[in-house]
Structure 1
Amino acid sequence: MGIEVGGLLGLIWLVIIVWAIIKVAKSTAGGLAKLLWILVLLFFPLVGLIVWLLLGPKG
């Protein structure tokens, strides 16, 4: 049962990260800001997502 739960949570986490990257790419922020946010989300997924949710582009 542990593998199935871990796999499901991993899949959910992947969907959340991909959603955040798409939101960043579609935002009105400048090109460099988008690139930096995407790199932060890719290299520091947990911390990057939390920081993006708190400080990232709104709207």
Structure 2
Amino acid sequence: MSSSLAFIMNMGGFGIILLLFSLAYFILWIYCLIDVIRSDFKDSNMKLIWVIILLLAHGLGPIVYLVIGKNSKAQL
């Protein structure tokens, strides 16, 4: 068994919760990145800015995008 898997197994319930939270946050990050790439924005530079924010600010980037970034999209 790998050492990281053994570490998580030895942590008990907390390790499983931490693993599930990490997986959910990674899925949220991927969703935001795909949404930015597929969307059109009012300002053409905003797509690049949001991609950079998502890549460099892993902790807050997806949350900031969901709160602020959705308003900067172009209306169809």
Counterpart of 1:24 (choices 36, 48, 73) is: 36
**TM-score, normalised relative to structure 2:** 0.63
Deviation at 1:16, TM superposition (A): 0.2
* One-letter amino acid of the counterpart of residue 26, structure 2: L
Structure 2 unaligned blocks of 5 or more: 1-12
Aligned residues: 58
**TM-score, normalised relative to structure 1:** 0.77
The residue aligned with 1:55 is 68
Counterpart of 2:53 (choices 15, 24, 40) is: 40
What RMSD in Å do the two structures reach over aligned CA positions?
A: 1.8
Cα distance in 1 between the residues matched to 2:65 and 2:58: 10
Extract structure 1 runs of 4+ deviating beyond 3 A: none
Deviation at 1:15, TM superposition (A): 0.1
In our comparison, the structure showing a higher alpha carbon Rg is 2
Share of identical aligned residues, percent?
Answer: 26
Cα distance in 1 between the residues matched to 2:21 and 2:64: 21
Cα distance in 2 between the residues matched to 1:7 and 1:55: 28
Structure 1 unaligned blocks of 5 or more: none
